[in-house]
Amino acid sequence: MLLEWAVAGAVILAGLIFCLRIMRRGITTLEQDRDQYLERIRAGELQLREDRKNISLEEQCRVLRAAVEDLLRLAGNPPGHELSGDGPRLLLRTPTGEWRLELNMRERSLRTTRKVPHGRSRWLLSGGGHEESFDDLADLMRSLNARLRGDETTPTGLEHLARRLSRRR
């Protein structure tokens, strides 16, 4: 009997806390909630862009090297593929040819503030008769992956997603 009263009390207390939280925040419409969440997403994307500006050239190059090594590892370390180079230029030798991956980014050291502003980065992929430039490392890796698999056309955006979903069915 005492256990039943304890459970009922806990349920009532949880209900009161839930009601108080709703009253404190106020009841909002779905449209208002959607606007709030979209604003949070936009603020997060803006913060991400600002954080990307603060990544140094050296760190970007390490990320590029790690991404290419992961791509090869996920492909089962195919024979005849060799990654060489250091810094902003990497060379990937494959049985079908060589691929050059480069990062062009300007850095300038400010003496008075001891900060290093970074310019806009540009990722370059060349080899096999193709030369492409990208704003984002993810786009470069998507294109490199498609080229290594032998796809002549590299789908972007929704086309890429639709192709992946259709393969799973």
Q: Evaluate whether residue 71 is within a structural domain.
A: yes
**Predicted confidence pLDDT, tens digits, the chain (169 residues):** 888 999 999 999 999 998 888 777 777 788 888 999 999 999 999 998 777 777 777 888 888 899 999 988 988 888 888 888 887 889 889 888 889 998 887 655 555 655 555 556 788 898 878 888 888 888 888 988 888 887 655 455 555 555 556 655 5
Tally of domains in the chain: 1
Q: Are strands 130-134 and 89-94 parallel, antiparallel or unpaired?
A: unpaired
Q: Evaluate whether residue 98 is within a structural domain.
A: yes
Query: Which residue range is the domain that position 86 belongs to?
Result: 57-151
Q: Evaluate whether residue 9 is within a structural domain.
A: no
pTM: 0.57
Q: Are strands 82-84 and 130-134 parallel, antiparallel or unpaired?
A: unpaired
pLDDT of residue 58: 81
Residues 6 or more apart in contact with residue 100 via CB below 8 angstroms: 89, 90, 91, 92, 124, 125, 126, 127
Task: Evaluate whether 104 touches 90 at the Cβ level (below 8 Å).
Answer: no
Joined tokens for residue 63: 């990320």
Q: Evaluate whether residue 13 is within a structural domain.
A: no
